[in-house]
Amino acid sequence: HPAIVWFRRDLRLADNPALAAALNNHRRIVPVYIHAPDEEAPWAPGAASRWWLQHSLTALDARLREHGSGLVIRHGRTLETLRQLIAETGANAVHWNRLYEPATIARDTEVKEALRAEGTAAHSHNAALLFEPWSLTTQSGGPYRVFTPFWKACLRQGLPEQGEALSEIPPETLLPSAAHSAALDTLGLLPTIPWDAGFNDHWQPGEAGAWNMLREFLDHAGARYAKDRDRPGQRSTSRLSPHLHFGEIGPRQIVHAVRARQAADARPGAHASLDSLLRELGWREFSHHLLYHFPHTPATALDERFARFAWRRDDADLLAAWQRGRTGIPLVDAGMRELWHTGWMHNRVRMVVASFLTKNLLLPWQDGARWFWDTLVDADLANNTQGWQWTTGCGADAAPYFRVFNPVLQSRKFDPDGVYLRRWLPELACLPDTALHAPWEAPEHVLRSARVRLGSDYPRPIVELRASRQRALDAYARIRVMP
């Protein structure tokens, strides 16, 4: 009997435990992707994620074809579709790798119970995380809410890197599946407006693209990551986030590659720098730990006092200005335009734009998280929820509520020569560095000689930074004293 390998966000052949387990017991496998976005509601993949998915599925299909097989694509309710595939192919087992969002856990549990009750073996595996979220507990037996002890516990256990499952499948070993596949284009994943035009310049979805990204990072940026990772104008971080989200590369593989590079590069700075990349993977683990143990948090903050926070809910214009990069604050606008044009934003700038939305504009973090959800190619429920709550100051191990990022100081500190700002705000490119970060403070003659008319070429700030900061602190102070 063949086995079905149900691909979801594990779109790779190497280090894929579900695929490896199926291949251990079956010569013929049916590799299938089932498109069922409604089953992930209210967090069905956003537009940028769907773009990625289209190309990643294409890449996976090509990889499977190299091995003599090919991806079977179906659209419809998962359980019904699996039952149909079992009937069509005579499969007696289904293997998949686990997901950790509340909706996918509920769906997968239902699928597993139903298949087993009907006599089909159903096995789930771990491809996405270094540690299962339930495998780490504090001394009192509960989940972690603070990152540092969580990460120490991970390091004490030892980061897993190499295993049976890392092995590659020899070419031409899979037999073609008997199941009929729908054409990928019938899933309607690509946007109807050509907003994704720039994405191709920045990304190569799929397993090969993930490895190219990792190699490029290790060769060119790894040794200076710790020093430069906060500089948005430089190519200093790995940009692996969408590849990790779609499981085109797994964290064990990254740990393995990093450890190998550390062994080969004896410079102490390089070693420590790569340790800080692993620590960021630790934040990814921590986010998944939090989402698993606090599944309500994509909708409501972990810090319950925020249920009574006086958000402004009436200002669609302010939200639209933020979304489209028209706030008049250069670093915020550059970040929002980078997001729109590339589907990604540098982490430091994500913190700045999130702080600006939730504090200076006093708009709910959920509005920002939703926009990110639709526009980020790496949109990930665990990381996005944690990132927004951390910056807002309403999550686990959050920045203190009174930490309001000053976008002008952040800009001067992390983009001192304006490389990032000029890249995304060409209308300000001729301003000297002294005026670039806060053009509204520049003398009129400086603006004139750079041919910048505030209010027409580039907006004036939509809020006054100092007063809006104080308004946020006052609002926070009111919930702080609440029990």
Query: Which amino acid, residue 315?
Result: D
Q: For residue 107, which phi and psi values (nearest 5 degrees)?
A: -65, -45
By beta-carbon proximity to ligand FAD, the closer residue of 89 and 386 is 386
Who contacts 96 (Cβ-Cβ below 8 Å, separation ≥6)?
5, 6, 7, 8, 10, 18, 108, 123, 124, 125
By beta-carbon proximity to ligand FAD, the closer residue of 72 and 472 is 472
Tell me if 189 is assigned to a ligand binding site: no
Site of tokens 């495998």 = 135
By beta-carbon proximity to ligand FAD, the closer residue of 123 and 279 is 279
By beta-carbon proximity to ligand FAD, the closer residue of 99 and 244 is 244
The Cα 98–Cα 318 span in angstroms is: 39
Who contacts 276 (Cβ-Cβ below 8 Å, separation ≥6)?
225, 226, 229
Rounded to a whole number of angstroms, the minimum distance from the CB of residue 322 to ligand FAD is 13
By beta-carbon proximity to ligand FAD, the closer residue of 40 and 427 is 40
Tell me if 239 is assigned to a ligand binding site: yes
- Residues 322-346: b if buried by 16+ CB within 10 A, e if exposed: bbebbbbbbbbbbbbbbbbbbbbbb
Contact 431, 410 (CB under 8 A): no
Closest CA to 244 of 213, 200, 216: 213
The Cα 472–Cα 242 span in angstroms is: 33
Tell me if 438 is assigned to a ligand binding site: no
Contact 29, 91 (CB under 8 A): no
Rounded to a whole number of angstroms, the minimum distance from the CB of residue 403 to ligand FAD is 13
Tell me if 380 is assigned to a ligand binding site: yes
Rounded to a whole number of angstroms, the minimum distance from the CB of residue 411 to ligand FAD is 16
Tell me if 237 is assigned to a ligand binding site: yes
Helix (H/G/I), strand (E/B), else coil: 128: coil
Helices 330-342 and 365-375, interaxial angle, to 10°?
A: 40
User: Known catalytic residues?
Assistant: 280, 283, 311, 347, 365, 388
CB atoms closer than 10 angstroms to residue 471: 18
Tell me if 100 is assigned to a ligand binding site: no
CB-based closest residue to ligand FAD:
387
By beta-carbon proximity to ligand FAD, the closer residue of 28 and 243 is 243
Rounded to a whole number of angstroms, the minimum distance from the CB of residue 54 to ligand FAD is 19
Tell me if 87 is assigned to a ligand binding site: no
Rounded to a whole number of angstroms, the minimum distance from the CB of residue 232 to ligand FAD is 10
Who contacts 47 (Cβ-Cβ below 8 Å, separation ≥6)?
191, 195, 374, 375
Binding residues for ligand FAD, rule: CB under 6 A, are 229, 237-241, 244-245, 277, 280-281, 283-284, 287, 347, 350-351, 354, 372, 376, 378-380, 383-384, 386-388, 391
Rounded to a whole number of angstroms, the minimum distance from the CB of residue 143 to ligand FAD is 16
Q: How far apart are the first and last CA of the chain?
A: 60
By beta-carbon proximity to ligand FAD, the closer residue of 342 and 384 is 384
Who contacts 306 (Cβ-Cβ below 8 Å, separation ≥6)?
300, 392, 394, 479
Q: For residue 444, which phi and psi values (nearest 5 degrees)?
A: -55, -40
Rounded to a whole number of angstroms, the minimum distance from the CB of residue 257 to ligand FAD is 12
- Residues 351-380: b if buried by 16+ CB within 10 A, e if exposed: bbbbbbbbbbbbbbbbbbbbbbbebbbbbb
Query: From the annotation, which residues make up the binding site for FAD?
Result: 225, 237-241, 378-380
Query: From the annotation, which residues make up the binding site?
Result: 225, 237-241, 378-380
